[in-house]
């Protein structure tokens, strides 16, 4: 059983043929060129889908389904994408347009939800009943799998978990609210705090690492300095791990999943991040004597988009 997964990003389109186990058999891609009319972009998706099948040696007739992950949401009742900022889309009938071009059933999902589904089927959450993927990147995204299925809620607006408010009247977020979790748990937050620290401590390791060029501070610089034991960077990273853990405690309180996976750029810190976050959780969970979600690293990286999209059936 071969399924096609399409991963739609603001800069690139990717498609792959995926088998039942979530293994990618072929992978093709092209630039999105999102400035074009949506019809042209969808046409390219259709072309990629057919190429992916060909490259996997699979007749189009044998393709069981097509799934698409988008950086936005779909109104599941109508199949219309109401808006998609990265693509400049408004009211785009993605599902039906692509379905007609491909003569196949098409399902559309949010890219973060799709990545969570991929980890659930073929990654670090395989074999679990329920899982939450948290991507610690420029922002904080994520997807929730309950009883083996993507959870999107009643109107399709669930699980923008990076925008759960963890600090009322806190830092202003791009969404207009104050105190969203992603203002504290994203790579952006690590960089902001790293720059702030370097400003205050021009002799500290972070400032020295970038030779005083604060703009050159990345999440990796901050993490590397913390790993190297610089006291300022260690304290900063511990604060960051606490901020991540507060949000994870909220996710545990809300979803009580079997496992929470950390993905996204910051998760490249690996066990260093994992141990720091795990250490803060016991004090934060509500039921101190009950078991709660394990926290692990996500495993599929960039392939999660294609695999998860293919698993949307």
Q: Which is nearer to a second copy, 229 or 291 (CB)?
A: 291
Sequence-separated (6 or more) residues with CB below 8 Å from residue 289: none
**Binding footprint of a second copy on the chain (CB under 8 A):** 73, 75, 82-83, 129-130, 146, 151-161, 163-170, 175-177, 179, 184, 243, 246, 249-250, 252-258, 283-293
Q: Which is nearer to a second copy, 45 or 259 (CB)?
A: 259
The CB-of-70 to a second copy minimum distance in angstroms stands at 14
Report residue 251: phi and psi, to 5°.
-65, -40
Q: Which is nearer to a second copy, 184 or 198 (CB)?
A: 184
Calculate ∠ Cα 233-191-166, nearest 5°: 95
| Ramachandran area for residue 298 (φ above 0: left; ψ -120 to 50: alpha; else beta) | beta
Q: Which is nearer to a second copy, 26 or 135 (CB)?
A: 135
The CB-of-250 to a second copy minimum distance in angstroms stands at 5
CA 84/CA 311 separation, integer angstroms: 22
Dihedral, CA of residue 141, residue 145, residue 150 and residue 151, to nearest 10: -80
Sequence-separated (6 or more) residues with CB below 8 Å from residue 185: 134, 136, 140, 162, 240, 243, 244, 247
The CB-of-257 to a second copy minimum distance in angstroms stands at 6
The CB-of-129 to a second copy minimum distance in angstroms stands at 6
The CB-of-155 to a second copy minimum distance in angstroms stands at 5
Task: Determine the 3-state secondary structure of 91 from DSSP.
Answer: strand
Half-sphere exposure of 170 (CA within 13 A, CB side): 16
CA 68/CA 269 separation, integer angstroms: 29
The CB-of-170 to a second copy minimum distance in angstroms stands at 7
Q: Which is nearer to a second copy, 25 or 173 (CB)?
A: 173
The CB-of-74 to a second copy minimum distance in angstroms stands at 11
Q: What tokens were used for 27?
A: 């992978």
Half-sphere exposure of 222 (CA within 13 A, CB side): 31
Q: Which is nearer to a second copy, 38 or 243 (CB)?
A: 243
Cβ atoms of 15 and 5 within 8 Å: the answer is: yes
Q: Which is nearer to a second copy, 5 or 247 (CB)?
A: 247
């Amino acid at each position: 059983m071969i399924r096609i997964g399409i991963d739609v990003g603001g800069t690139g389109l990717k498609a792959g043929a995926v088998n039942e186990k979530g293994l990618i058999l072929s992978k093709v891609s092209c630039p999105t060129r999102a400035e074009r009319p949506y019809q042209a972009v969808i046409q390219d998706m259709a072309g990629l889908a057919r190429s992916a099948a060909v490259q996997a040696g699979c007749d189009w007739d044998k393709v069981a389904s097509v799934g698409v992950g988008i950086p936005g949401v779909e109104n599941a009742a109508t199949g219309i994408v109401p808006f998609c900022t990265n693509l400049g889309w408004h009211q785009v009938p993605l599902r039906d347009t692509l379905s007609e071009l491909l003569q196949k059933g098409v399902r559309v999902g949010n890219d973060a939800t799709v990545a969570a589904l991929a980890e659930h089927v073929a990654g670090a959450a395989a074999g679990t009943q329920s899982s939450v993927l948290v991507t610690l990147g420029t922002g904080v995204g994520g997807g929730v799998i309950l009883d083996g299925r993507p959870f999107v809620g009643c109107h399709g607006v669930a699980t923008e978990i990076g925008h759960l408010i963890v600090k009322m009247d806190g830092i202003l977020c791009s969404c207009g609210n104050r105190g969203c979790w992603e203002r504290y748990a994203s790579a952006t937050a690590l960089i902001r705090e790293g720059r702030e620290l370097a400003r205050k401590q021009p002799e500290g390791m972070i400032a020295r690492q970038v030779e005083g060029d604060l703009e050159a501070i990345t999440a990796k610089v901050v993490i590397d300095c913390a790993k190297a034991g610089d006291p300022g960077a260690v304290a900063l990273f511990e604060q960051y791990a606490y901020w991540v853990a507060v949000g994870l405690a909220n996710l545990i309180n809300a979803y009580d999943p079997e496992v929470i996976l950390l993905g996204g750029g910051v998760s490249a810190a690996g066990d260093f991040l994992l141990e720091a976050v795990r250490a803060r959780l016991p004090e934060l969970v509500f039921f101190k004597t009950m078991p709660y979600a394990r926290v692990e690293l996500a495993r599929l990286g960039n392939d999660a988009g294609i695999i998860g999209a293919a698993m949307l059936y």
